[in-house]
Every structure is written in structure tokens, then in C-alpha cells.
Homo-oligomer: A and B are copies of this chain.
């Protein structure tokens, strides 16, 4: 059996583990699925006995290889402490599988900090990268936009943001085929003197780089296709992604309930389309860019469909050699 391009999937990550994680793996490898993955591309990491029992319910007991791991790092555990205490938990085991070559990618819906920590410590960063960054690619405007860092690095340097820009551009170019991706810097004004010391430093470095830097992007400009890649610090990025998610649900809830109460409900297909455009589960999870391996971090609330999309995103990142392209781009930086 080949292990080329295999994806190690953390069966115990997220709010709906292990059941919906396994259902996602089953869906991704459903032979009836047009763009499905071969089952041998997935390596399940989790408690073997329980996994086989659940798979048996789907008559798929032997569909996947399994790496047995009975320990779990909880969503609220402190990453550093948990990784030291449980080196054989599913998250570090997934990452170890990438390190050893048993897998090319790791996917988890679990503790984000533990995934970032394990990946950074075990896989190490790519040459030319100081700190990895979490990239989320949305398609709110109908066009893919990659935002990073979404929370790996709350206090970056200006040079980190340039590395994020290079990595985000390599992702857009290498995976999505966007030529000379437009790179923007999230800021609170369009003028160059706006923002913090960090944004001023990053802006100067981005202007000097050979990237296609289009300048500052204001938060409301995220919804008008002004850039293909937008970089920011991990604190702000995490605020942005959580605000979009929370405010989207809040606002749509108001419209749905209001229209319902007024006796003219919003058509389901309209809501479906709008929600899909802002729904995290459609994004396929976040990519941790800048480590030696493909690492996908899904949303804790992921359902089977989100797991399926995360597995597809991981396969796509492996198959398009995002990291090889990123290393080349980093080597060629101005």
C-alpha cells in the first residue's frame, strides 16, 4: 500500500468526535462520490476499537488504516502543558505521522493551539519562515480570498506579515491558479500613517517586496474583492473570523425570524446560498502555512460535511505541492 499523499485524520477532534469525523471520512471516500478520495489516502488516528465499532455500523470496518491512540487533548486544555503530558494523544500522533512520512498531511477539528504547537515543534517551520500562520480562504464575494494569520501568532513582527503574504500568495497562485495575487494589509484606514507600529512596519516591508502589494484594506473592504490575500496579526485575524461568524449568524437570525413573524419567510434556497457563502464548514478548514507538512485545522463545530471539505482541502494542498511552491517563493523574496 502506498502512503504517498496520505492524510492523517484526528478522529477525536472537535465537538462531534468521533462519530461525525468518521462520517466525514466515509463521505470523502464514498465510491459514489465523483470527486472523492481513495480510502487508502486516509489514515485514521484514534482509539482503534471504538473506530472499528462505529465503522462497522456503516459496513466499513476495514475501509481505513488506523493508527491507535487512546489519549485526547481537550478543546480547553492549555496546548503547551497538554502536549508535554500527552505526547501520544491523537493531535501529536497525527503530526508525528507527517514527520515520519507515514502521511503527508494532518487534519484535526480539535484544539487549535495544540495543532499549531505540535506542528511547530515536531515538523519545524519551512526555510525562511519564523512563525507559521493560519490561513482561511473564504469565498464571500464569489471569489476566493485568503486571510492570514487567523490566530497562530498573536504578536507578530512586520517581517512575519511579509512571510504570511508570500505564503498566502503561493497558496493562491499554486492551488487556485491566481496570477500575481493582489496582497493587502488589513488596516483601519487607507492612508499610510494609519494603524499600529506593526502595520506601519509591515507596510514599509510589503512596499519594498516583489509582491503585488495593493495597500491597506479596511475591514469593510473585505467584502468587495479588493485583494486575493489579506494579512494581519493573529489577534486581529481571529477577531475578524469570529466576528464574521457570530455576527453573520446573529444578523441572519434576525432577518429569518423577522420575516417569519411577518408571515413572509425568506425562501430556504436563498438562505442556503447566503449561509453557504459565510459558513465555516464550506471553507474546508484553515491551513497552517509555514510548517514542513500540510496541516489543516477544522472548526470545532465541524459536522461530517466540514470534515469532508477539510479532507479535500488537505488533499488539494498536498497534490498541488503548496509547500514546495511556498519554499520557492520564500527563496525568491526581494
Contact = CB atoms under 8 A, between A and B. Distances in A.
Contact of A223 (B151, B191, B197, B246): B246
Contacts of A264: 264-267
Interface of A: 76, 78, 140, 151, 154-155, 186, 188, 191, 193, 195-197, 199, 218-223, 234-236, 238-240, 242-252, 254-255, 258-259, 261-262, 264-267, 269-271, 273-274, 277-278
B247 A223 contact: yes
A153 to B, nearest CB: 10
Contacts of A239: 186, 188, 219, 236, 239-240
B154 A195 contact: yes
Given A220-B245, A264-B265, 19 more contacts: A76-B191, A78-B193, A155-B196, A188-B242, A196-B235, A199-B235, A218-B246, A219-B240, A219-B242, A220-B247, A222-B246, A223-B246, A235-B236, A243-B243, A244-B247, A258-B267, A259-B259, A259-B266, A262-B267
Contact of A235 (B195, B248, B271): B195
A243 B249 CA distance: 14
Given A266-B259, A270-B259, A197 B155 contact: yes
Nearest to A265: B264
B251 A188 contact: no
A191 B197 CA distance: 27
Contacts of A238: 188, 219
Contacts of A195: 154, 235
Contacts of A154: 188, 195-196
